[in-house]
A and B are shown apart, each in its own frame.
Chain A
Amino acid sequence: MDELKDELISVYVQESREQLDEMEDGLLRLEQDPDDADNINAIFRAAHTIKGGSGVIECGFIEQFTHRVENLLDALRNGEIAVSGPLATLLLECCDHMRSLMDVLVAQKSSPDDEVQVRGEELGNRLQIFIDSVRAATLPPVAASDAVEVESSGGGEVNTDSWHISVRFGQNVLRGGMEPLSFLRFLASLGEVVGIETVPDGIPAAAEMDPESCYLGFEIRLKTTASKIEIERVFDFVRDDCELRILPPHSKLDDYILLIQELPEDTMRLGEMLVRCGALTQSELERGLIAQQQATDATAEQEAAPSTPLGEILVGSKLVHKEVVDAAVARQTQVTDKKARDAQMVRVQADKLDQLIDLVGELVIAGASANLIALKSRHSELLEATSVLSRLVESIRDSALQLRMVQIGDTFTRFNRVVRDVSKELGKEIELSISGAETELDKSVVERIGDPLMHLVRNSLDHGIEPADVRLARGKPACGRVSLNAFHDSGSIVIQVSDDGGGLNREKIRAKAIERELIQPTDPLSDHEIINLIFEPGFSTADQVSKLSGRGVGMDVVRRNIQALRGTVDVASVEGQGSTFTIRLPLTLAIIDGFLVGIGRASYVIPLDSVVECIEHKNLAGERNFLNLRGEALPFIRLRDLFEIEGQAPARESIVVVQFGGQRAGIVVDQLMGEFQTVIKPLGRVFANLRGISGSTILGSGEVALVLDVAALVHIVTRAEEECWLMYRHVAPVSSAASIPPAILAGT
């Protein structure tokens, strides 16, 4: 039982967090478009769903708080309060608070800590102030005005002042984790249940009965001042899985009769039940049934005419308010939308997925070795069979890997809130533009890129964008712009954070770096190198340490986090026009098309998307490590030297020309072994600091081949050369060049 509850709670928390995300999204949109009724409804629904769920899992503190939020949202929805900045801020804070309440629930504490509690109280009071202001302003109360307008149109009014609710729970209600009784209990909280009758007619014979199915229905008389919508809302959670009919107080007899006939149970029996629970008297029932019988013949003729939607009929006969119908119709469409979306989603635990992908990876390898054996055997039928098999395996692998890829959009949209809050705090006007939200990357990368991105965005907001007056003076629009962009580029994912602010001050950075002894005043550095000094540990140019950034740890941490993902970060800036931070991440676990090359006995894989061309070259041996490629000086790396692979290079070596981030380089290898698709396996913690190798893959023969990280390799060689020259400059006057490590010499 406890297990079941735990599961319920975890599902609830997960769904509620999604609802909160939607709610937050909605609130942000609300500020831009205060009149969007659909949006307000959506926000309200999200809050209501959270509240409803909290009732089901019996979590009092969430229910209480959410109820207060809901009250305010209700007033907002009814147009009693106008949307305003402070209101949206308050509601956003409420969202945050609800999130922390979810954390309390997850931590399995029975009540929130004092701190959270106090915060809840404070927010509650602020909510109350808003609500009170409404209540004072609008008289008479809403519930009353609701009740009057429903007119009856003859047929004899049933003389009761209670609502009548007929509900038939669907068979799957229990399986869906819902407890029918809790709805009834909740219903009772709206008013007084005058009479209730259980409708057991759905229960099949004992032998056919499935104890997990729900067969019950109820006829309920409810005395309440609540509106029809509020009553319907009680059943929101099972709305799609139950039949619900609500008759307002003083409904006409015909409605009851219609209700009786529409319900699947036997007419007479149901009638008796209504009599028993006090909806009708016996004579009313009989009268109604006879009248209905007479009317049937008449309506038969009408049916030939084009049928009018039920909603219109109801409105036409003034049975329900126009708005109610509209709301119901809107709700229906939303429900179907949501359903359609949900139908395409299956929640799977991440580790199960990883397991599947591991297995598929092994399948690929096993398939490749079977292929190899088939090739050797020269048995044509076997060959044919294995080639079909490997094609299938490849498509399985492709789709399996696709499962792990998620769009970066969700990570990006989170920043809407950050930009809003921070810009308010700073008193700047800033808008966020997002592009490339559909770019897919590995889930594990998405999870870990959030923090570095946050740092960069905050940095742009705080230091990048200038105050409005400065912007205007510089001839820019007062409203600053921060953009997030993502795209795929030669086997990597590139994420850019850019702003149209003041840009980086090169001289200031240089002065600071010299002051911090990061560089020597005499160091000849390019502009690009200077501005990238901001990623050095302990570097901060902000004259004032602000709350948001400027402690000098930010950029350093950003670079370290990104390097931990085997990525790079780089900044480009034009003074006065803005800066762009570019994060380049390799695909850690992904399908890649690889290009297999061999050096000595070892094989290496170069990601195919970075390969431009292959050229054969004789007599490469020489002093210089560049060649003339159609008039362009192409630098190359001798992998044999860099990797210290033993043995002599063959007479004919090949150069693989690779391209990354606008740069080109050659990689000298012994032989080219062609392209093949491969699953990248991370090398594990032991190799966490290894640069230049981005992972490994298992070849058909069962051997492990390393995947080269081209950009990092070039970086290593460049660094080694720079250091070599530095060392040469410093060491040369004292000792000979012999002290330069052989690996570095080999690289020069």
Chain B
Amino acid sequence: MGQIVQNQAPHPVKAAATAALARSTAIVAGNEREHPSQYLTFSLAGEMFALGILNVKEIIEYGHLTEVPMMPAFVRGVINLRGSVVPVIDLSARFGSKSTEVTRRTCIIIVEVFDGEVRHDIGVLVDAVSEVLEIPGREIEPPPSFGARIRADFIAGMGKVDGKFVIILNIDKVLSVEEITLLTSGEAAVGTGAAGAAEIAMACSTA
């Protein structure tokens, strides 16, 4: 399931993530894989989000990111994940807000998404990971039709945790390789043009 990269520098993210994933492994093992009720929660601009644990490959601390020019703002860059080059998406920017600022707790969640038959690893930049939660199906509400300030098709559901809502992401949509490619297509990719196009697309879909 999950795998944690051991870095020399002590990092606040690591302890939390290790513990979270270690617990989840035990729980998930006994569960049916088709109905993931295990979620990894993380914070983004003060808000709590969750994504199905089965998509999560590993969590690493932020560092050594190479920016790729002429890409929309939400494509933060690429990192070297043990020899393979993995793109990193700034989730906050993908949702149309401003780019995430890097702090001591910033980390990258490596997520596995499928583009047809092909498996891709994509890194997701988040403010901090919190824990792995079990959210039973009856505690998950359908997403509101508007008002979440995130594209409706990005939301898989609203999980209720301790009386608060956690936005459960439809990660295949959020990280749809096809859509990202589309957003970066053609000459729009030159300079600010792409970012502008992306913003327009975002504005249109949120409206």
Residues of A at under 8 Å CB distance from B?
Answer: 358, 361-362, 365, 602, 642-645, 681, 683-693, 696, 698, 702-706, 716, 719-720, 741-744
Contacts and interface: CB of A to CB of B under 8 A. Distances in A.
A696 B78 CA distance: 9
Kindly list the 9 A-B residue pairs having the minimum CB-CB distance in the complex, ordered from nearest. Answer: A743-B191, A643-B69, A362-B83, A704-B66, A689-B185, A686-B87, A689-B184, A685-B177, A696-B85
A645 B68 CA distance: 10
A705 B191 CA distance: 19
Give the secondary structure class of A's interface. mixed
B207 to A, nearest CB: 24
A741 to B, nearest CB: 6
A15 B177 CA distance: 38
Nearest to B86: A684
B177 A689 contact: no
Q: B interface, how many residues as a size bin?
A: 20 to 34
Contact of B85 (A681, A689, A691): A681
A705 B68 contact: no
Contacts of A719: 187, 190
A733 to B, nearest CB: 23
Contact of A362 (B64, B70, B82, B191): B82
B84 interface: yes
Contacts, number: 102
25 contacts: A362-B83, A644-B191, A644-B192, A684-B120, A685-B177, A687-B71, A687-B87, A688-B184, A689-B181, A691-B70, A692-B69, A692-B70, A693-B69, A696-B78, A702-B64, A702-B80, A703-B64, A704-B64, A704-B79, A704-B85, A706-B66, A706-B68, A716-B190, A743-B191, A743-B193
Given A681-B85, A703-B66, A741-B191, 8 more contacts: A642-B69, A642-B191, A685-B177, A686-B75, A704-B64, A704-B78, A706-B66, A716-B190
A702 B66 CA distance: 11
Contacts of A688: 181, 184
B181 A686 contact: yes
A128 to B, nearest CB: 46
B189 interface: yes
B28 interface: no
A550 B22 CA distance: 62
A165 to B, nearest CB: 52
Give the secondary structure class of B's interface. mixed
Nearest to B185: A689
Nearest to B181: A688
B132 interface: no
B153 interface: no
Interface string B57-72: 0000000101111110
Contacts of A645: 69
A592 B64 CA distance: 23
Nearest to B191: A743
Contacts of A643: 69-70
Which of the listed residues A683, A686, A744 has the most CB atoms from chain B within 10 Å of its own CB? A686
A703 B75 CA distance: 17
Which of the listed residues A704, A706, A743 has the most CB atoms from chain B within 10 Å of its own CB? A704
Which of the listed residues A365, A689, A696 has the most CB atoms from chain B within 10 Å of its own CB? A689
A643 to B, nearest CB: 3
B83 A698 contact: yes
A412 to B, nearest CB: 30
Contacts of A685: 115, 118, 120, 177, 181
B182 to A, nearest CB: 8
Contacts of B83: 358, 361-362, 365, 698
A189 B194 CA distance: 72
B5 to A, nearest CB: 12
Contacts of B168: none
B193 A741 contact: yes
A503 B70 CA distance: 38
B126 interface: no
B16 to A, nearest CB: 24
Contact of B190 (A358, A602, A696, A743): A743
Contacts of B79: 704
A364 to B, nearest CB: 9
Contact of B67 (A602, A642, A716, A744): A602
Nearest to B65: A704
Contacts of B185: 689
A295 B136 CA distance: 98
Nearest to A698: B80
A703 B67 CA distance: 11
A642 B69 CA distance: 8
Contacts of B85: 681, 683-684, 696, 698, 704
A696 B69 CA distance: 13
Contacts of B78: 683, 696, 704
